[in-house]
């Protein structure tokens, strides 16, 4: 979480409680314009989706993670299994598993 900018959640407009009890009108009115919706969407962590931030490559103490046009490559012959890449990946794309 320390790598993300903390931005407060935006809440869409809602009908006041007194009005809700006297009508069947939709309570949640949604965001007020595209700017609110875009701002809220920008808070998405994109969990599980690599956005090519290169943190895993930069933090691997062995320097065996490589990025090229086909994506990221681990050289398992030299990986010592420290798990730093998994810890540093802010989107949980990298994880440790027994082979
Ligand atoms: S487990 Fe450690 S050595 Fe292996 S790729 Fe990740 S950071 Fe590098
Ligand atoms: S696997 Fe994770 S740390 Fe590596 S580039 Fe993708 S998002 Fe960043």
Residue of minimum CA distance from atom 2 in ligand 2? 89
Total length of the chain: 99
Establish how many alpha carbons lie within 13 A of residue 85's alpha carbon, considering only the half-sphere containing its beta carbon.
26
The CATH architecture annotation of domain 47-99 reads 2-Layer Sandwich (3.30)
37-52 residue pLDDT tens: 898 999 999 999 999 9
Q: Which of 18, 20, 15, 19 shows the shortest CA–CA distance to 30?
A: 15
**Phi, psi of 13, rounded to the nearest 5 degrees:** -65, 145
Mean pLDDT of all residues in 2-27? 91
Residue extents of the structural domains in the chain: 1-44, 47-99
Atom of ligand 2 nearest to the CA of 67: 5
Contact 81, 96 (CB under 8 A): yes
Atom of ligand 2 nearest to the CA of 51: 7
What's this model's pTM, rounded to 2 decimal places? 0.76
């Amino acid at each position: 979480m320390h790598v993300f900018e903390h931005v407060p959640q935006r809440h869409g407009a809602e009908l006041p409680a007194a009005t809700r009890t006297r009508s069947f009108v939709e309570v949640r009115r949604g965001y007020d314009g595209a700017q609110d919706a875009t701002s809220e969407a920008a808070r998405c962590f994109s969990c599980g989706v690599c956005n090519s931030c290169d943190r895993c490559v930069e933090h691997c103490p062995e320097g065996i993670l490589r990025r090229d046009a086909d994506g990221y490559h681990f050289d398992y012959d030299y990986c010592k299994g420290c798990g730093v890449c998994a810890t540093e990946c802010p989107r949980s794309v990298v994880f440790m598993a027994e082979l």
